[in-house]
């Protein structure tokens, strides 16, 4: 029974194989197949769409790369300008510090000279007061002896 079923199954399978072979031979005999042509057109359409998307993506990438390159160049120029400005500012700060130190030394010297001058004026005032007192004493003595 199993052998009969197997033989029947082989018979059905054989017929299917024959039918498939006939269809395959018929498709090969035709110059083009509508299904194959539609499949090729569909594949070409998908490939063209994918290529267009790829080209557009590459264009955007190139555009962004060019923009990035311009931004990098601009940043380098700004950095160079800042460094030049920082160098000039540092030089100006050093010159200002040197000038401030010279001015401080001159101010200290002027302060010392002012103290010396103040001491001299104080001594002159003391001498003038002593001379004034002596002149008054002499005036009183002369005035009392003349009377």
What is the rounded CA–CA span in Å between residue 41 and residue 47? 10
User: Considering the entire predicted model, what is its pTM?
Assistant: 0.39
131's tokens: 């001379």
The reply to whether 54 falls in a domain is: yes
- Residue 33 CB: number of other CB atoms within 10 A? 13
Over residues 5-20, mean pLDDT? 47
The reply to whether 2 falls in a domain is: no
CA dihedral sign of residues 50, 52, 53, 59: positive
Chain centroid, CA 65 distance in Å: 17
What is the rounded CA–CA span in Å between residue 115 and residue 111? 6
Looking at the chain, the whole-number percentage of residues with pLDDT higher than 70 is 74
pLDDT at 24: 46
What is the rounded CA–CA span in Å between residue 102 and residue 95? 11
For residue 2, the SS3 value is: helix
**In sequence order, what E strands does the chain have?**
none
CB distance 114 to 122 below 8 Å? no
Q: In the chain, how many domains are there?
A: 1
Domain that holds residue 76: 7-146
Residue 43 — very low, low, confident or very high, per pLDDT cuts 50/70/90? confident
pLDDT digit string, tens, across residues 75-106 = 999 999 999 888 889 999 999 999 999 999 99
The reply to whether 22 falls in a domain is: yes
For residue 79, the SS3 value is: helix
The reply to whether 1 falls in a domain is: no
- Above 60 in pLDDT, residue 8? no
């Amino acid at each position: 029974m199993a052998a009969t079923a197997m033989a029947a199954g082989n018979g059905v399978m054989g017929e299917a194989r024959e039918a498939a072979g006939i269809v395959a031979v018929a498709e090969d005999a035709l110059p083009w197949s509508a299904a194959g042509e539609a499949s090729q057109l569909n594949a070409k359409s998908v490939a063209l769409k994918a290529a267009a998307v790829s080209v557009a993506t590459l264009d955007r990438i190139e555009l962004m790369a060019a923009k990035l390159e311009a931004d990098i160049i601009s940043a380098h120029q700004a950095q160079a300008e800042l460094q030049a400005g920082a160098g000039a500012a540092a030089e100006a700060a050093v010159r200002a510090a040197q000038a401030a130190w010279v001015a401080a030394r001159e101010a200290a010297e002027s302060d010392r000279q002012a103290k010396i001058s103040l001491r001299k004026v104080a001594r002159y005032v003391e001498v003038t007061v002593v001379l004034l007192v002596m002149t008054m004493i002499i005036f009183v003595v002369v005035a009392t002896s003349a009377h």
